Copies of this chain bind each other. A is one copy, B any other.
Amino acid sequence: MSMNLGVSERLQPILDKVTKLMQEEVLEADKEFHDEIGKGGDRWKMNARQKEIIADLQAKAREQKLWNFWLTDSERGYGLSTVEYAHLAEQMGWCVLGPQVFNCSAPDTGNMEVLERYGNEDHKKQWLAPLLESEIRSAYLMTEPDVASSDATNLKFEAKLDGDEYVFNGEKYWSSGAGDERCKVYILMARTAGDEAPRHAQHSMFVLAADTPGIEVLRPMQVFGHDDAPHGHMHLRFTDVRVPKSALLLGEGRGFEVSQGRLGPGRIHHCMRAIGQAERALALMCKRSMSREAFGRPLAKLGGNYDIIADCRIGIEQARLLCLKAAWMMDQGDPSAAAPWISQIKVVAPNMALKVIDEAMQMFGGTGISQDTPLWEMYTQMRTLRFADGPDSVHRMQVARKELSMHR
């Protein structure tokens, strides 16, 4: 069967425009945006300059119709395949601000997909419409502090039906983006049945306003000591939070169905962005290695640096192709056949990116972990990705199970 992993003809001009905007403006703007954090006094409120930076970039993107690429099969978008989107995700992933410029940020894209697929008309009008315009943002509330969330059947945050309302009690954390003042809506997984139900039918998915009474933000979870403001990975407590029955998506006990559909493409996007990070790190490394001398020779020519550079290039190419293959599997229409491929890249891409970034750091010497390069922040983001959406070990388990199933 044909398996085209290249850049299609229709994609090429879009990809070129995205790449151009990223390289010529977004990278620089990203740095300024982050330097501005907290300058207005409150790290969690964007100041005027920050708002302007985003507004300007988004305007430039929209002018060129570089918007909502993730709408893979809708007439409103380009109708891109997952493979095509993946190529874009790599370019947008060079810096944190990138995806937001094109309204392709996590967790919004996944949440919008959920709303589009499983939301009712009210949900779409209230939440999807403004999300599509980047007027508001969203969060996805899954992970919990008290259980090993890598096995999501452990989740115990409780939703109880009480008349026409569900009542929520419990805690969620690592709710990324929930710190953003623009974040208005949550997609949330809650336990609606006990162990009497089948293991994967005990949980349900809900949609609710972020300002529903009874929700407290306890704290931002820090990543390597950083609060990631103004985005934030928040720790939330729900106390008798009441939502109408219509907040339930798809049906009781079908939470995993929703989350599986949501997480597959999301993981591919994460991984392609990781490839972008790795490319950026390798470019920095190469430039440094040729512009700095020690022992009378450019760093590139010292010791094992050729080998290091070669191994980084090789690692990137392999990871990219595997991501594209996983995206292609996704495009074949059978998510369960695609699942082990997605698990493969979920292991490969962040680890590869971490390796490349770490080698880049080392090539820079102390500068490599300092404020004078973006490497440290790239590192902490990639490190996070080894947990986010499932730790390496869980994904390796899925890959092995699939493999062994073929020899039974």
Contact = CB atoms under 8 A, between A and B. Distances in A.
Interface of A: 1-9, 12, 143, 148-151, 154, 173-174, 221-226, 282-283, 286-287, 289-290, 292-295, 299-300, 302-311, 313-314, 317-319, 321-322, 325, 341, 344, 347-348, 361-362, 365-366, 368-371, 376-377, 379-380, 383-384, 386-388, 391-393, 395-404, 406-408
A362 B392 contact: yes
A173 B151 CA distance: 43
A380 B400 CA distance: 27
A199 to B, nearest CB: 10
Contact of A383 (B154, B173, B369, B401): B369
Contacts of A366: 143, 173-174, 221, 384, 387-388
A400 B325 contact: no
A4 B7 contact: no
Given A311-B396, A391-B365, A5 B5 contact: yes
Given A303-B304, A304-B306, A307-B393, 16 more contacts: A2-B9, A4-B5, A5-B321, A150-B365, A154-B293, A173-B366, A221-B366, A225-B225, A282-B403, A283-B407, A300-B400, A300-B404, A313-B399, A317-B322, A318-B322, A321-B321
B283 A154 contact: no
Contact of A154 (B294, B310, B314, B341): B294
Given A2-B8, A311-B396, A396-B306, A223 B406 contact: no
A154 B293 CA distance: 9
18 contacts: A1-B7, A1-B12, A3-B4, A148-B293, A150-B294, A223-B369, A224-B369, A225-B226, A225-B380, A283-B407, A303-B307, A303-B397, A304-B306, A314-B347, A314-B348, A317-B344, A362-B387, A369-B387
A380 B369 contact: yes
A319 B325 CA distance: 12
A18 B263 CA distance: 38
Contacts of A404: 286, 289-290, 300, 309
A408 B331 CA distance: 38
Closest 8 CB pairs of A and B: A304-B304, A3-B6, A148-B294, A321-B321, A310-B396, A318-B318, A310-B399, A306-B400
A289 B369 CA distance: 30
